[in-house]
Structure formats: structure tokens, C-alpha cells
Amino acid sequence: MKKTGERTRVACAALALMAAILFLCSSCSKAGNSTPSSSSQNQTQSYVLTAAVSSKMPADKLTSLDNTCVGWGVGKTEIGRRPSYAENCNLKYKDYNALFVGEDNKNVYMTFDEGYENGYTAPILDTLKEKGVKAVFFVTYDYVKRNPNLVKQMIAEGHTLGNHSWSHPSMPSKSVEGAEQEIMKLHNYVKEEFGYEMTLFRFPMGEYSTRALAVVKNCGYKSIFWSFAYVDWKTDAQPPAAEALKKATNGAHNGAIYLLHAVSSTNNAILGQLIDDIKAQGYNWSELKA
């Protein structure tokens, strides 16, 4: 009788185990064939967001990068020749989404830095509209705060707004967090006030570092430098119009990124002729995009 009872208990235990296995298999099969619940969808979305964030450089790695301040200057080149120093920097900093000169073709690009308004932006916009040229206007917080109507006109007429930082500091002088704030505070302000999302960044005073370039990229921006500029920001020491026009025209080269300052009376005076003269050399004024 004891043996019979033990056999019965063993048989019952085996049947129970088999039933449990069949139940689990059935549950797995149903789960695999059913539509994901809102909970599982949320998990998928979280994974995607995490993956996007993880593509950024982590803060500890950012702080370990070289933060030596480098000044990007005007440079000198032969007439019609692409500046080799700009091409070399394109290669050196390619992993940081930085552009010092455009591609080696007949496209050239117009950019203006807007730290403050000096009464010339409106006529510059009129000239650009007349000539059918689109430019990038790199703005600071103080500029957009004081000149909302000009900013709205830039956007309405199809120009690109670029981020020139919140307060125009030397970016390598900032901590990683401080540099991020300089970029993103202005980014968010322009987005909220004008419904416009900027993607291009220009370093104030052209001062950058490897770490600062990485911070800009982490913020979702492309760093735009220039391959031609001249001293046009000194409002009390403007060159004669003919001299400025000659310098700017001789500076043309494949992929040229022109940096001009909208505070310059001379730039305002020569802009229309400069656009025409560069076109006459066979170049195309093009839009600079991220």
C-alpha cells in the first residue's frame, strides 16, 4: 500500500509539472502573437531615446578632451586658391562636425555675424532679396532680444539663423556645462519666441578648442567657420569701399565661406556689387545648410 501511494504521489506531481509547462508555453505563444501593450510600447520608445542619447559623448569624456584655445583668423591665400589651412582643419576636425571651407566646387556662401545692430541689417536684407541670395545670420541673445522684427524678416525671407552663443564669450573659457548653456539657452529662446530651430553654430571671436567643438556637436549643431574675412568689424576704421570690394572679390575660391559683419557701412555699400562680381567669376551663391 505504501508503494502504491508513493507511485500515485509521483504520478500526480509529474502531471502537475507537465500542466505547468503547457500553461507557460501557451502564455508565451499568446504573448508573442498579441499586439504589444502600451507598457511594452513605452519600453520600446525609452530604448530608442536612450540609444539617441548614448550616441552623444559622455560628460566625463568631454572633460578629458584638449581645451587649449585656438584662434581662427583671417588668413592669407592666393587669388582663386582654396586655403590649405582650412582644408586641413576640415580633415582634422571632421569627427566634430566642423566646417572651415565648403566643398571643392563653384558654390560659395555668405554669412554675417550679428552681435549688435548698427543700422545696416535692413538694407543688407534688401540687397540680398534683390539679388536672390540667401545668407546665414549668426545671432546672439542680445541681438534677437533687441531686434525681433529683423529676426522675423530674416526667417520670412528664407535666410538661415545661426547660433552665435547667448553672451558671446570665448567658448574654451567655459566649463562643459557652461558651454552647453551658452548654446542651448539661445537655442531654446529662439525656438520659443520665433518658432525656429537653429542648427549652425559660429564660435564667438573664432576661438575654439577640441572640447568646445565636441560640446557643440553634442548639442546637435554643426560648427561653421570661414575661409574668407577681412577687418570689417571696426566701425571707426572702415576701409574705402573700393579697397574692401577688391579684397572681398579677390578672396573668392571654390567652397568659399564669406564672413562679413553687418555693423560695417562699407559692407552695406559694396554688397550688391560684390555679389555680382563673384557671380561674374563663375561662382554660385548657395545656401549653407547643416
Q: Which residues are catalytic?
A: 113, 261
Query: Helix crossing, 265-280 with 121-131: angle to 10°?
Result: 10
Are residues 171 and 146 in contact, defined by beta-carbon separation less than 8 angstroms? no
Is beta strand 207-208 parallel, antiparallel or unpaired with respect to 70-71?
antiparallel
The neighbour count for residue 155, using CB atoms within 10 Å, is: 16
Q: Is 31 exposed, middle or buried, given 0-12, 13-18 or 19+ CB atoms closer than 10 A?
A: exposed
Mapped to the 3 state alphabet, what secondary structure does 18-51 carry? HHHHHHHHHHHHHHHHCCCCHHHHHHHHHHHHHH
CA-wise closest residue to 214 among 84, 102, 90, 64: 64
